[in-house]
Structure 1
Amino acid sequence: MSNSSHPCQNKICHGEQLNYNTQEHALKSIFVLDILFQFGEAVIEIAQEKDQLLKS
């Protein structure tokens, strides 16, 4: 049973990995979500700009 420093959902669910509940992992999760939201907003903005160019 390996206890990696990277959380693995399957191992966490089966109780094999117990070191996932740290402030570092929580912050990394928040940063990943922030990046995904920023990426989504950028995609929407690009799509809107493309639509405006095509309508011109």
Structure 2
Amino acid sequence: GIIEAFVSDPPWDPDSFPDDAALTAKFSALAGPVLGADETQRLAGTILSLSRAPVARLA
């Protein structure tokens, strides 16, 4: 139904997704000049923790 359209499996190969270090480096390069190093690292950690949070599936 409609809910399943919002909570679907990713269309890419999960093994090809960058690791945490690569994502943090990319985010730091983009956000660092605006936010500063400390805030960038804090926000990167928060974003990565959200990406690892379990997603509730509705039946």
TM band (smaller chain): 0.3 to 0.5
TM-score normalised per structure 1: 0.37
Select the structure with the greater relative contact order (CA < 8 A; seq sep ≥ 6): 2
Larger Rg, first or second structure (1 or 2) = 1
TM-score normalised per structure 2: 0.35
